[in-house]
Amino acid sequence: MFRLGTIRRTAEESVRDKTFDGRRGRRAAAVATLVATISVIAAACGTGSSTTTTSAPATTSTTAGSSGSGSSTSTTGASTASVPTCPSDVAQGSPGVTSTSINVGAVSTQTGALAGNFGAMVPGVKAYFDYINSQGGVNGRKFNLSYNLDDEGNPSQYSQLVHTSIDQDHAFALVGVATPFFDPNYLAQTCTPTYGYNVTGNWAGPPNLYSTGGTALYYPEIPYYIAYLLKKLKIHSYATLSYGIAASSAACSAVNKGLKDAGFAQAYTDLNVPYAGNVTPDVQQVKSSGAQIVISCMDVTDNVSLARGLKQYGAKTQQFWFSGSDQTTIDHYGSLIQGVYFGLSHVPFSAPTQYYPGMKTYLAAMQKYAPADVGSELAIQGWASAALFVQGVKNAGSNLTQANVVKQDNLLSDWTGNGLYFPINWATSHTKATNFCEALIQIQGTKYVSVLGQGHQVFVCFDINQANPTPYNPVPATLPAGTPGT
């Protein structure tokens, strides 16, 4: 479940850095907190398992039924499934709900040194709300992002704003949470429906926290997709680069273990690259090692520096990046980064819309409501987050309480973000990953092009033996029911 774009700056910020000179030291200091808390793995695979001080969620046994959800392709419930719900003494009300509107909040980092990593989430949320509201909303109510709060890159400000949203503003839900300072505790205590961008590895567990692609992480899935790519490219040796903190090195450590166990040759690895530092020594080592591909767990700016260095030294090494799949990256560096590979958990923006009507809807609505963010990896997560919330509201019907919206969302057994993501079963995806699917893409010309799929199908899925998750010879499995494009 690769989710890209965690430890990074936007391409626009990279352009402002120009040749990445000494001014980067100041920026590196400014993002020290970000680097220490954000996980490339969270973007690559979802969320790591975590514990909080909150009590365990209740569960409800349910049977399958119709969702009554309009255009959604998701079904509601799974036979005799145990569905996580809010504790019976919280979230039983309907704060922020009137006869004509549902008022929600968002807390994100929109200004300050870290804004480039999180600012595009809210435009995606707003675009989806505008799209739904243009159709009359749900049951006569329209959706308002009434409390769009900015933590300004300050962790104490984030905590204060969460309390403000719940206790003072009485927001029905938080939709569009995107910050490196996410703390689940108060949200879990109140069971406030919460939807957002998981980069902190602490969303898994509570029944009311939703991150696109599922909130649970399974590390060994990462090398499966990469091993499959390497086999197709007839590549036998690889190199890995990451920063010297666990938040970055965890991804490349998983790659190293999985690929080595599967028989690939590790030609070079450096899991201690200085953030925003000089990558030239690593470039030279990668070239001299003979590695056929370098797998980078660094941010987009350092990835661009890597690509520039490989070109400067005449290395023919191919590249796989965990970060940098926004359209602005191609717009600014297209000639430098041709051929780079990525993985996505959603349908690529360039997928043929005749087979992916959900992407057609997304692109048209974003062009209308948020044109500056059409190709943003964060914006599509904001859109999908809002779509999941709205789906829960639809299915809750006249019993519109926070707890029932949480229950209704957790009854969704094959949620695809209305045709944008591989299916997620929310009855289980708060605590474990079950579907291991990926859309592999490559920069070709001015687009990210789907590769290695079958026909028009962009997703490749794998059955992983979790007792022995070594990708010896990864072979695509049957796609889960409801996968977009099938």
- Residue ranges per structural domain of the chain: 82-217+354-436, 221-350+440-462
pLDDT at 114: 77
Identify which has the larger pLDDT, 189 or 58.
189
What pLDDT is attached to residue 46?
43
d(CA 133, CA 127): 10
The rounded distance, in Å, linking the Cα atoms of 91 and 93 is 6
User: Which fold, 221-350+440-462?
Assistant: Rossmann fold (3.40.50)
Share of the chain above pLDDT 90, in %: 71
Averaged over 35-51, what is the pLDDT? 40
Q: What is the pLDDT of residues 112-164, one digit of tens each?
A: 877 777 889 999 999 999 999 999 999 999 999 999 999 998 999 999 999 99
Lowest mean pLDDT among 29-38, 142-151, 289-298, 463-472: 29-38
CATH assignment of 82-217+354-436? 3.40.50.2300
Q: CA-CA distance, 369 to 48, in Å (whole number)?
A: 33
Q: How far apart are CA 263 and CA 480, in angstroms?
A: 29
Identical fold, 82-217+354-436 and 221-350+440-462: yes
**Which ranges constitute the DSSP H helices of 262-376?**
280-289, 300-312, 327-333, 357-369
Task: Give CA–CA dist 5/378, Å, rounded.
Answer: 8
Residue 202: CA count within 13 A, CB half-sphere: 19
| 207-250 tens-digit pLDDT | 999 998 888 877 788 999 999 999 999 999 999 999 988 768 88
CB-based contact 438:344 (threshold 8 Å): yes
